[in-house]
Amino acid sequence: MPGRRQGLFKFEDFTLDLDTAELRKAGLLVHIEPQVFDLIALMASNTGQVISRDDIIEHIWNGRIVSDSAISTRINAARKALDDDGTLQRVIKTVHGRGFRFAADTEKLTGKDHAVTSNPVPVMEPGTVLSDPGRPSIITMPFENLTGDSDQDFLADGLRIDIQNALTKVSGVFIVAMASAMKYRGIPTKQAADEMGVQYSLAGSVRRSGNKMRVSVTLTDEISGEVVWAEQYDRELTDAFEMLDEITGRVLTAMNVKLVAGEPARIWHKTLKDLRSLEALYRGINAFFKMDADSMREARHFFEQVTKWHPETSIGPTWAALTHWFDFQRGWSESGDVSKKLAKECAENAIALPDSDGQAYTVLCHLHLVEKDFDAALVLGKEAIANRPNCTNANAHYANVLHYCGDQDAALHHIKRALRYAPIHPPQFKNILATIYRALGQFERSAEVAKTAIAANPTDLIARLILASISVNQNDPATGALMTQEIHDLEPSFSIANFADGQPYRSAKFLKKYIAELRDAGLSD
């Protein structure tokens, strides 16, 4: 079997970065499925050598039995990504009876070349996600409500969100974040998968009649166009969680995902057996994702009911903690301190229960960082990742904690993961990435990301502060003056002292340097 190297390779106008799993053409990210990336990486790393079909099977499918058509599909997709085809065979040549050969002149760049040439992790706009190679990738599409009553939308959304939450707990799966996937309601699954750069789509529909429901689900390999699994379930509503467990298991089996130690206990539901609790939970989730102050209060009402009726499960207090947390983050409550206190109480109640998952740990991680309890924040953030390795928020907030604690390399790793899971993401994710690049001294990258954050949110204050700081490091007083003016226009009462008070840096020296840069840029105390 040919060996696979690591590093950055250049051929024609393409760059292939095996460390960050990025293929770019003329600096622009090429969106490809993980197995296709692995195939290109295998061949480019062994330029000029014949790669047999057995080599490909061993490398891409770990030796599992696959059809010739599956190999051909991946080869065709690789050629398409490289502006090649079976007729031209400019880059990937077929060696009849033996396999394939990478024919392009390939240069492996040195570490110095890499630093100059390699682009930063893409600032994820719609369509710029690149999945992790070596893991099956999936988008869970919004489920259709076929009941004919919009008041039942909560059921379709709740069932889909529960499947999504289960899959985020499986380390062997790459899954597009919930908020990004929800943007594809009513969009063809093929388009969604292509734009998100994933292989599989899971689509479904729900029809309710009284206390009964019919749920249809379809798992499609969007590269081959093949439906790999489909099923229809006729169940009582009170059997919803058992049905969801079955669906999750069938999806994982169809994608050849093997669970690692501890995962089965995390992903299988503890059930709510009464109808009123199920409806309250799903109506609460439906209201939660409307993401406004009134809907958040409505959601909390439902979650508090679930908590009252089922104190033995963490479902209610976990979701309630999230509502208080968002009230605190978004300024939706009359008292931020009260919201923090309630979020902490609910989250602590949740993690004390045997079925708790990573969402409650993420809330506590953030709250302990705000309180500058750094050791606790690090432990809780790590626990959140262990419980929900594919969770966007868990990775983003852990990255933030790592940044404030001074571990910038680890912080960069986790924010990259968050951005890959969520190509359609909150603007603050860009700020986390920009802040980390600034801390690493990668000022051009930091400035590039900060500018995209402002483009996405023209009132973004944090991104302007980052640019003001960078202007000092780059001896660019004009940019510093512009950012200072825009900051004061957006927030006339802004002061460095108040800003510094809200920055939970573990290193006083680091914070002092940041504040000095802001003063030098023209901002006042």
CATH code reported for the domain at 137-270: 3.40.50.10070
Of residues 280 and 180, more confidently modeled: 280
Q: Is the pLDDT of residue 17 over 70?
A: yes
What are all long-range contacts of 52-55, with beta carbons under 8 Å and residues at least 24 apart? 52/98, 52/99, 53/99, 55/1, 55/2, 55/99
> For 61-108, what is each residue's pLDDT tens digit?
766 676 777 788 889 889 988 988 888 899 999 998 889 999 988 887
Percentage above 90 pLDDT, the chain: 17
Give the three-class secondary structure for 522. coil
Helices then strands, each counted (H, E), the chain: 23, 14
pLDDT of 62 reads: 67
CB 6 within 8 A of CB 17: no
Percentage above 70 pLDDT, the chain: 89
Structure tokens at 413: 């790793």
d(CA 434, CA 446) in angstroms, rounded, equals 4
> For 472-505, what is each residue's pLDDT tens digit?
888 888 998 998 999 988 888 888 888 888 888 8
CB 161 within 8 A of CB 178: yes
How many Cα atoms within 13 Å fall on the side-chain side of residue 433?
29
Cβ burial, residue 162 (10 Å; 0-12/13-18/19+): buried
d(CA 205, CA 35) in angstroms, rounded, equals 29
Q: Which of 424, 373, 369, 427 is nearest to 399 (CA)?
A: 369
**Of the spans 13-22, 24-33, 268-277, 378-387, which averages the highest pLDDT?**
378-387
On average, the pLDDT of the chain sits at: 82
Tell me, what DSSP letter sits at residue 118?
P
CATH code reported for the domain at 8-117: 1.10.10.10
> For 448-477, what is each residue's pLDDT tens digit?
888 888 887 888 888 999 999 999 888 888
d(CA 427, CA 363) in angstroms, rounded, equals 19
Q: Is the pLDDT of residue 231 over 70?
A: yes
Domain boundaries, the chain: 8-117, 137-270, 286-521
pLDDT of 163 reads: 85
Cβ burial, residue 95 (10 Å; 0-12/13-18/19+): exposed
Q: Is the pLDDT of residue 21 over 80?
A: no
CB 313 within 8 A of CB 272: yes
CA triplet 330, 161, 217: central angle to 5 degrees? 155
Q: Is the pLDDT of residue 255 over 60?
A: yes
What sign does the dihedral 194-195-196-201 (CA atoms) show? negative
Would 8-117 and 286-521 be classified into the same CATH topology? no
> For 349-393, what is each residue's pLDDT tens digit?
988 887 777 788 888 998 999 889 999 999 999 888 888 887 888
Domain 286-521 has CATH 1.25.40.10: yes
For tokens 């240069």, what's the residue? 107
What sign does the dihedral 159-164-167-168 (CA atoms) show? negative
Strands 107-109 and 92-95: unpaired
Please report the DSSP string for 160-202 in residue order.
HHHHHHHHHT-TT-EE--HHHHHTTTTS-HHHHHHHHT-SEEE
> For 390-439, what is each residue's pLDDT tens digit?
788 888 889 999 999 999 988 988 888 888 777 667 778 888 999 999 99
d(CA 276, CA 117) in angstroms, rounded, equals 58
- Residues with Cβ within 8 Å of 176's Cβ and at least 6 positions away in sequence, in order, are 129, 137, 138, 139, 140, 196, 198, 421, 422, 423
pLDDT of 152 reads: 80
CB 381 within 8 A of CB 365: yes
Please report the DSSP string for 464-502 in residue order.
HHHHHHHHHHTT-HHHHHHHHHHHHHH-TT--HHHHHHT
pLDDT band with cut points at 50, 70 and 90 for residue 269: low
> For 129-163, what is each residue's pLDDT tens digit?
344 555 788 888 988 888 877 778 888 888 888 88
Task: Report, in this order, helix, strand and coil percent for the chain, each rounded to 5.
Answer: 55, 15, 35
Structure tokens at 202: 């899971």
pLDDT of 123 reads: 35
Structure tokens at 223: 């590269």
Q: Which of 215, 261, 220 is nearest to 241 (CA)?
A: 215
pLDDT band with cut points at 50, 70 and 90 for residue 274: confident
CB 163 within 8 A of CB 292: no
